Amino acid sequence: MTPVRVQKIIADAGLASRREAEEWIREGRVRVNGSIVELGARADPDVDSVRVDGKRIRVRPGAKSYVLLNKPKGYVTTRHDPEGRPTVIDLLGDAGYIYPVGRLDYDSEGLLLLTTDGELAATLTHPRHEVEKEYEVIVLGEPDPAALDKLRRGVFIDGRRTAPAKVYAGHVVKSSRPTLRQAQGERNM
């Protein structure tokens, strides 16, 4: 195998994200063949001894986990919440280092993908890949046409405009509760 960055080896072993692994390297907690490494160091996981806090890392080539989770309301889509709210990781128990792909709001429910496959996560979430996402939202009352037009033009999130979305009002569900669909075209910022 070709040598790869040590933080990728740690992430592929399911111990931490690449960012967390980079912090461990900065803290001097990571050794390759007995020597403390610096950020940017490379190693061959099939040949070199990579250790974190003295424990050898075992990488299972190609072993990746994929979980589809029906996220209930009342959970945040993150690995750790500084506010102490329950996270989707709490629902999984001991699943190793797995992380959510995308996010659903605290009060939202729906299908969520969690994985250890960083390349797949990047492909699905990074704006340059332009992966379309579809949402179905139930709202109380009739949606304001001006609000729908804003979604069609793209909205600002964290100071950046999202891509334009195809939005249409659906049919009435349970008396006056129309279903709105945001379909084919909503992309990450």
> Residue 158 catalytic?
no
Contact call for residues 111 and 69 (beta carbons, < 8 A)? yes
Q: Which tens digit of pLDDT belongs to each residue from 108-130?
A: 888 999 988 877 887 888 778 88
Label residue 186 by pLDDT band (50, 70, 90): very low
Q: Which of 105, 111, 169 is nearest to 138 (CA)?
A: 169
Tokens of 32: 């390759």
Q: Indicate the pTM of the whole model.
A: 0.61
Report the pLDDT value the prediction gives residue 37, as an integer from 0 to 100: 94
Give the pLDDT band (50/70/90) at residue 176: low
Can you give the pLDDT at residue 36?
A: 94
Q: In what order do the strands lie in the sheet with 66-71?
A: 66-71, 110-115, 99-101
As a whole number, mean pLDDT of residues 41-69 equals 84
Identify the pLDDT of residue 187: 45
Q: What is the pLDDT of residues 28-46, one digit of tens each?
A: 999 999 999 999 999 988 8
Domains and CATH numbers, the chain: 4-56 (3.10.290.10), 64-125 (3.30.70.580), 131-189 (no CATH)
Taking residues 143-163, report their average pLDDT: 87
Give the number of other Cβ atoms within 10 Å of residue 113's Cβ: 16
Phi, psi of 45 (to 5 degrees): -65, -20
Q: Residues 44, 105, 144, 149: which is the catalytic one?
A: 105
The pLDDT > 90 percentage for the chain reads 28
Q: What is the pLDDT of residues 79-104, one digit of tens each?
A: 888 999 999 989 987 766 788 888 88
